[in-house]
Amino acid sequence: MNWKSRILMGVGALMLIGLYFQPFWTISMTAPQYPEGIGMYIHIDDVTGHNRHDLQSINTLNRYIGMSEIHKEDFPEFVVMPWIIGFMILFGLLAAATGSVKLVLTWIGLMILLGIVGLVDFYMWGHDYGHNLNPDAPIKVPGMSYQPPLLGCKQLLNINACSWPYIGSIYIGLSMVFGAGAVWINKKRQY
């Protein structure tokens, strides 16, 4: 690959560093009693509230429908993900350094795979939280489950929950665009 492509790939890989500082997913909820909204950010290593105490409030509310409390410690993903992203950054840099189109393509492939695995994992967690309810829950609505939407908005009782990618995902997206761009420019030069 030429220098331009290499730089592009290198920058793309480095963009993933942003994931250590910004959440990549957000779930925001509104309800008549929550005009100001309440919600969670998902980071590669943490889950936090939109506001300082949102998570506590969400757990308090979820008790009524018997949903398990959400605690960072329950997610092994938060331990693994920083390493995986670290690996992807190094891999990307290696691809840039060697200038190997193959490596770049592998990198892109891995990124796509990670994305799919991540979404599936997210869906499974959502399914688990939404369906695996405490039978002693005070509020039981027959046939009702509380799985949050994977992408988009969904009305769950009085709460309208919306799930969207957040700033970190822009880094992921850009990173992959840069990687693909590196291959594309390289290809163009060959003709």
φ, ψ for residue 47 (rounded to 5)? Answer: -125, 130
φ, ψ for residue 142 (rounded to 5)? Answer: -55, 130
Number of residues that bind another protein (CB under 8 A): 11
| CA-wise closest residue to 170 among 52, 54, 45, 26 | 26
Q: What is the DSSP letter of 73?
A: G
Cα separation, 177 vs 92, in Å, equals 13
Least distance to another protein, CB of residue 112, Å: 40
- Beta carbon nearer to another protein, 2 or 56: 56
Say if CB 162 and CB 28 are below 8 A apart. Answer: yes
- Tokens representing 5 are 């492509």
Site string for another protein, 113-142 (x = CB under 8 A): -------------------------xx---
If one asks whether residue 187 binds another protein (CB under 8 A), the answer comes out as no
Element (DSSP H or E) covering residue 72: none
Tally of helices (H runs) and strands (E runs) in the chain: 5, 5
Site string for another protein, 69-108 (x = CB under 8 A): ----------------------------------------
In the window 1-60, what residues touch another protein (CB under 8 A)?
36, 52-53, 56-57, 60
Least distance to another protein, CB of residue 138, Å: 6
- Beta carbon nearer to another protein, 66 or 99: 66
Residues that bind another protein (CB under 8 A): 36, 52-53, 56-57, 60-61, 63-64, 138-139
